[in-house]
Chain A
Amino acid sequence: MNPFSSGTRLSDMIRAIRASKTAAEERAVVRKECAAIRASINENDQDYRHRDLAKLMFIHMLGYPTHFGQMECLKLIASPGFPEKRIGYLGLMLLLDERQEVLMLVTNSLKQDLNHTNQYIVGLALCALGNICSAEMARDLAPEVERLLQFRDPNIRKKAALCAIRIIRKVPDLSENFINPGAALLKEKHHGVLITGVHLCTEICNVSSEALEYFRKKCTEGLVKTLRDIANSPYSPEYDVAGIMDPFLHIRLLRLLRVLGQGDADASDCMNDILAQVASKTESNKNAGNAILYECVQTIMSIEENGGLRVLAINILGKFLSNRDNNIRYVALNMLMRALTVDSQAVQRHRATILECVKDSDASIQKRALELIYLLVNENNVKPLAKELIEYLEVSEQDFKGDLAAKICSIVEKFAPEKIWYIDQMLKVLSEAGTYVKEDVWHALIVVITNAPHLHGYTVRALYRALHTSCEQETLVRVAIWCIGEYADLLVNNSGMLDLEDPITVTESDAVDVIETAIKHHTSDVTTKAMALIALLKISSRFPSCSERVKSIIGQNKGSFVLELQQRSMEFSSVIQKHQNIRSTLLERMPVLDEATFSGRRAGSLPASVSTSGKSSFSIPNGVAKAPLVDLLDLSSDDTPAPTSSGDNFLQDLLGVDITQPSAQPVSGMQPSQAGADILLDLLSIGTPSPVQNGSTNGDLLFMQDNNAPIASMDTISSTSPTAPSSMMDLLDGFGSTPPKNEDKSPAYPSIVAFESSSLKIEFNFTKKPENPQTTNIVGNFTNLSPNVYTDFLFQAAVPKFLQLHLDPASSNSLPANGSIKQTMRVTNSQQGKKPIVMRMRVGYKINGKDVLEEGQINNFPRGL
């Protein structure tokens, strides 16, 4: 005997492990055993190999690494005796999974064992194959399995059938080979073979529509008969479960019939009677019976319409739903969800019961019921349902509140009959579960509020009241702050009073008080505080008498460690102090936010906007404020062609009213002006929605990158930095809640239309390497707007002395009609940051051999290049 091998038996080891009082003790025992096993492996000790593997499996279950035992499995499998093989295969299935390469080594042993004369060894191999076979093994061993489907012993046939299922799941193409042997299994009497055979056929039908047709034609009647025989068969102790004959076989037959009946009226017709019999005769007082009923209902719902059967099925679900057993209620909810597409009226009838399930003490049932209720809501029942759900929100468990609040918000938004109701319900949700409400939801609320001018006063007063009772709910606080900032005057003078409201007296300083509370409250985060600063700034303009107090509150944040707050504080103080003359214009009420744009954006996935900017963040407010407004907008700064509408555009931009304007309007050369607008917009805390920026600055060329380019353009100029949260942020306020990580990213620059004539368009895209800020890489995109082919195309450019230009060859020298080519160039700006890039360019080409020359000056390069 090997002196190193541990003498302990398996049970001794288990006892030692169980006797360990601490985790450390257990680890020590395991370590010692593992060392002994490793030694024994190294010695290639055959006598104890299977004992070692058994120990390893136990150790594995405790969660210790046992990879060193993998090869032992293979050795045991390769040994001739049944006991060795049995434990070897068990280890294989336990210690390895199908993705390990070691597994490939076992294919050969498996093949031999599948052909073994001992049927139990064949069984072991089939079992291992069925449990861990990979796609490759499936291909290699499918012929063996196919053959074994006709093996004399039924126990091998059933194992082979399940193996075939695994093979088909791994390699669906192989299903063809199993159609005929699978169909043969359907005639079996042995329950195990029949169960697995039915299952195999179901699986084949699922991957191959031809097979489905075949089985539908050849086997439907036979299966119906089999099901009838099973359902009517006398008591048989071997297969009896709670008085029912083999529920497992029942269920599998029902499942295959479902596949065959779906989408085929004849097949469905053929099975109607037996389904009716199963649905009406099966005992429903035990789980086994209910399992069959549940499966039967599913089949009835899936096959082709038969009114009477469906009524029967829905009634079964109704009974399930009123069952006292939680399991039965759970599956009823599950099934009703699926029945919804078939017969929503019938499901609606159970609404009250389902609503009760939302309030169940069982989280699984709650979740199911909530999802079902969510699907049941429509215009007609939204009011009572929302009321019930909101009432429940108050008493529900913390874990459930998030889900519940999200669903309530969603249905309220979707089906609100009128705005005031929507606003009321949202305020209730925010007051109860504001912390769980997602960003886009409260953003949407603000959009709706701005769109309901007659409710501004009502809303701001309601929010003011709510704030006093629920000041811990972050999102409520945010919405309230925003509204108070905007509509403070309506709050104080009680204007726009609705009949249903109780008047309240709020003084100007009360309004400032609540905002001050919010800014100082420990639960408020940066976003809330930043919003509060803006609200204060706005109040300072609405109530000049509070100006001093506002100034001092804003001033307190000058020393904030959060860059965002500090900067806002500085800028806003300066607005209050130095720029009385423009303050009221700056701080006018927000324009109405466009609902369509917002919902469009919300529908599209919110882009993780690239946070850029960095060096080009100037100290804007001062600069802006000093400049007269017209200059600021800088309408005439460029001599590049600008469409006549551009002036309007700016104004509209400024007012934020044109956000629905088609964004494809090509306008060039407006970068500086746009910049001016941006600055102002930013101060106004509006932020232009990106589609507008696309339209006015870049025309349609930016469409492909409209997510980051506009933001970048705003960023490079403005001081605030919209960060990841979403583009909605800048729609509402233009601030980011977290300081941007500017420094380590190279700034992105918006593309420009450098030149455009009736026949040619040139777009420039810019990139810069951070390590080389002076050099800009430009990719020029030349688009032929005419139906003619341009040949001998040549682009030339000239730059002032402080610039260096390097032109790479163009991707082609001919431009097909409506086609485009690319050319890259590199501009090094020795005065980078001081002087902008300008460029003169000339384009020459031939149309049908005739020379054409176009010239122009490009001075709409983004700043800071």
Chain B
Amino acid sequence: MTCLIMLASGIHFVLLVSRQGKVRLTKWYSPYAQKERSKVIRELSGVILNRGPKLCNFVEWRGYKVVYKRYASLYFCMCIDQEDNELEVLEIIHHYVEILDRYFGSVCELDLIFNFHKAYYILDELLIAGELQESSKKTVARIISAQDQLVEVAKEEASSISNIIAQATK
């Protein structure tokens, strides 16, 4: 008796929504058309924001499961297949939050609003193709800061070059 195990295809999307229903981050690993995306967001935030505080962190939705967890005013949601390990996804969410927390230094919603691109960069060091790529928070932090460094260097170079140009054309 060998039936193929239904292998889950990872996280389909990641969604960060505020308690007011404002989208703070969306990342789609499975193809959803733009229209579909806003529909999904609307539908899900309706379901999740209305759930009571003591209930479980899983919502069944359109044949998928959405694992969500609230941190302060933000809901972190990840959509997975029925067969996936919900408890692990909760850990992944927590993992992400901890990395954000270290990066921003006790992260708050405002950090994620004004530095939304940073939140994306960090997520990209954590997940690719909807799958976890790194279990060490330290490693993620190191890679992110190395890349931030590269950007800083490039900026300095640019400003020094423009200074040189400015001086040359004086």
Binding site for B on A (CB under 8 A): 11, 14, 18, 54, 57-58, 61-63, 65, 81-83, 86-87, 90, 93-94, 97-99, 120, 123, 126-127, 130-131, 155, 158-159, 162-163, 165-166, 169, 191-192, 195-196, 199, 202-203, 206, 238-239, 241, 246-249, 251, 258-259, 262-263, 287-288, 290-291, 294-295, 298, 302, 326-331, 334, 361-365, 367-368
Q: Is the CB of A206 within 8 A of B7?
A: yes
Q: CB-CB < 8 A to A11: which residues of B? A: 114
29 cross-chain CB contacts under 8 A: A54-B117, A61-B23, A61-B24, A62-B23, A63-B23, A63-B38, A82-B147, A86-B121, A97-B31, A126-B128, A127-B124, A162-B129, A163-B129, A165-B131, A195-B133, A206-B5, A238-B139, A239-B136, A248-B91, A248-B92, A251-B88, A287-B91, A291-B85, A291-B88, A291-B90, A294-B88, A364-B56, A365-B56, A367-B60
Closest to B120 in A: A90
A120–B145 alpha-carbon span in the complex (Å): 11
Q: Is the CB of B87 within 8 A of A290?
A: yes
A62–B17 alpha-carbon span in the complex (Å): 11
Which residue in A169, A195, A294 is a CB contact (below 8 Å) of B135? A195
Q: CB-CB < 8 A to A251: which residues of B? A: 85, 88
Q: Is the CB of A81 within 8 A of B90?
A: no
A206–B121 alpha-carbon span in the complex (Å): 30
Q: Is the CB of B147 within 8 A of A192?
A: no
Q: Is the CB of A165 within 8 A of B135?
A: no
Q: CB-CB < 8 A to A81: which residues of B? A: 154
Known A-B contacts A63-B38, A162-B129; A97 and B135 likewise in contact (beta carbons under 8 Å): no
Closest to A304 in B: B1
* Interface residues of A, dominant DSSP: helix
A214–B9 alpha-carbon span in the complex (Å): 22
Q: CB-CB < 8 A to A259: which residues of B? A: 5, 7
Kindly identify, within residues 137 to 153 of chain B, every residue whose CB is under 8 Å from any CB belonging to chain A.
137-139, 143, 146-147, 150-151
Q: Is the CB of B24 within 8 A of A131?
A: no
Q: Is the CB of B131 within 8 A of A196?
A: yes
Say yes or no for B32: interface residue by CB 8 A criterion. Answer: yes
Closest to A154 in B: B139
Q: CB-CB < 8 A to B117: which residues of A? A: 54, 57, 87, 90
Which residue in A82, A98, A246, A326 is a CB contact (below 8 Å) of B154? A82
Say yes or no for B4: interface residue by CB 8 A criterion. Answer: yes
Q: Is the CB of A330 within 8 A of B31?
A: no
Q: Is the CB of B55 within 8 A of A248?
A: no
Q: CB-CB < 8 A to A362: which residues of B? A: 55-56
Q: Is the CB of B87 within 8 A of A131?
A: no
Known A-B contacts A163-B128, A249-B135; A327 and B57 likewise in contact (beta carbons under 8 Å): yes
The smallest beta-carbon distance between A81 and chain B, in angstroms, is 5
Q: Is the CB of B86 within 8 A of A94?
A: no
Which residue in A14, A86, A192, A258 is a CB contact (below 8 Å) of B5? A258
Instruction: Count residues on chain B whose CB falls below 8 Å from chain A CBs.
Output: 60
Q: CB-CB < 8 A to A288: which residues of B? A: 87, 91
Say yes or no for B134: interface residue by CB 8 A criterion. Answer: yes
Q: CB-CB < 8 A to A158: which residues of B? A: 133-134
Q: Is the CB of B120 within 8 A of A155?
A: no
Say yes or no for B58: interface residue by CB 8 A criterion. Answer: yes
Known A-B contacts A58-B116, A159-B133, A248-B135; A263 and B88 likewise in contact (beta carbons under 8 Å): no
Q: CB-CB < 8 A to A246: which residues of B? A: 135
Say yes or no for B49: interface residue by CB 8 A criterion. Answer: no
Closest to B23 in A: A61
Say yes or no for B169: interface residue by CB 8 A criterion. Answer: no
Which residue in B29, B95, B135, B150 is a CB contact (below 8 Å) of A131? B29
Known A-B contacts A83-B155, A165-B129, A263-B2; A364 and B139 likewise in contact (beta carbons under 8 Å): no
The smallest beta-carbon distance between A18 and chain B, in angstroms, is 7
A159–B127 alpha-carbon span in the complex (Å): 9
Interface bits B3-20 vs A (CB < 8 Å: 1, else 0): 011010110000000000
Q: Is the CB of B136 within 8 A of A192?
A: yes
Which residue in B28, B58, B113, B137 is a CB contact (below 8 Å) of A14? B113
Q: CB-CB < 8 A to B9: which residues of A? A: 169
Say yes or no for B59: interface residue by CB 8 A criterion. Answer: yes
The smallest beta-carbon distance between A649 and chain B, in angstroms, is 48
Extra inter-chain contacts (13) besides given A169-B9, A206-B5, CB under 8 Å: A11-B114, A65-B34, A93-B124, A127-B124, A196-B132, A247-B88, A248-B88, A259-B7, A290-B87, A291-B87, A294-B87, A331-B86, A368-B60
A327–B57 alpha-carbon span in the complex (Å): 6
The smallest beta-carbon distance between A285 and chain B, in angstroms, is 13
A666–B101 alpha-carbon span in the complex (Å): 79
The smallest beta-carbon distance between B134 and chain A, in angstroms, is 4
Known A-B contacts A162-B129, A287-B87, A331-B87; A238 and B146 likewise in contact (beta carbons under 8 Å): no
Closest to B1 in A: A263
Q: CB-CB < 8 A to B132: which residues of A? A: 195-196, 199, 248
Closest to B2 in A: A263
Say yes or no for B54: interface residue by CB 8 A criterion. Answer: yes
Say yes or no for B166: interface residue by CB 8 A criterion. Answer: no
9 shortest A-B CB distances, which residue pairs?
Answer: A263-B2, A291-B87, A326-B56, A130-B128, A162-B128, A166-B129, A192-B134, A362-B55, A248-B135
Q: Is the CB of B135 within 8 A of A192?
A: yes
Q: Is the CB of A239 within 8 A of B28?
A: no
Q: Is the CB of B150 within 8 A of A192?
A: no
Residue among B10, B54, B133, B146 having the largest count of chain A Cβ atoms under 10 Å: B133
A192–B58 alpha-carbon span in the complex (Å): 27
Q: Is the CB of B135 within 8 A of A364?
A: no
Which residue in A18, A90, A131, A329 is a CB contact (below 8 Å) of B121? A90
Known A-B contacts A97-B28, A99-B31, A120-B147; A294 and B85 likewise in contact (beta carbons under 8 Å): yes
Which residue in A130, A191, A196 is a CB contact (below 8 Å) of B136? A191
A367–B56 alpha-carbon span in the complex (Å): 12
Closest to B59 in A: A364
Q: CB-CB < 8 A to A330: which residues of B? A: 56, 58, 86
The smallest beta-carbon distance between A728 and chain B, in angstroms, is 28
Say yes or no for B25: interface residue by CB 8 A criterion. Answer: yes
The smallest beta-carbon distance between B112 and chain A, in angstroms, is 11
Say yes or no for B33: interface residue by CB 8 A criterion. Answer: yes
A513–B130 alpha-carbon span in the complex (Å): 64
Q: Is the CB of A364 within 8 A of B55?
A: yes
Q: Is the CB of B139 within 8 A of A155?
A: yes
Kindly identify, within residues 30 to 80 of chain B, every residue whose CB is under 8 Å from any CB belonging to chain A.
31-34, 38, 52, 54-60
Q: CB-CB < 8 A to A196: which residues of B? A: 131-133
Q: CB-CB < 8 A to A248: which residues of B? A: 88, 91-92, 95, 132, 135
Q: CB-CB < 8 A to A159: which residues of B? A: 128, 133
Closest to B57 in A: A327
Q: CB-CB < 8 A to A127: which residues of B? A: 124, 128
Q: CB-CB < 8 A to B27: which residues of A? A: 93-94, 131
Q: Is the CB of A18 within 8 A of B113?
A: yes
Q: CB-CB < 8 A to A287: which residues of B? A: 87, 90-91
A413–B95 alpha-carbon span in the complex (Å): 48
A86–B143 alpha-carbon span in the complex (Å): 13
Q: Is the CB of A14 within 8 A of B114?
A: yes
The smallest beta-carbon distance between A201 and chain B, in angstroms, is 12
Known A-B contacts A83-B154, A97-B28, A131-B129; A247 and B91 likewise in contact (beta carbons under 8 Å): yes
Q: CB-CB < 8 A to B4: which residues of A? A: 206
A364–B82 alpha-carbon span in the complex (Å): 13
Q: CB-CB < 8 A to A90: which residues of B? A: 117, 120-121, 124
Interface bits B149-170 vs A (CB < 8 Å: 1, else 0): 0110011000000000000000
A326–B169 alpha-carbon span in the complex (Å): 70
The smallest beta-carbon distance between A825 and chain B, in angstroms, is 50
The smallest beta-carbon distance between A251 and chain B, in angstroms, is 5
Closest to B25 in A: A61
Closest to B22 in A: A62
A63–B23 alpha-carbon span in the complex (Å): 9
Q: Is the CB of B138 within 8 A of A327?
A: no
A302–B83 alpha-carbon span in the complex (Å): 13
Known A-B contacts A14-B114, A81-B154, A165-B129; A302 and B5 likewise in contact (beta carbons under 8 Å): yes
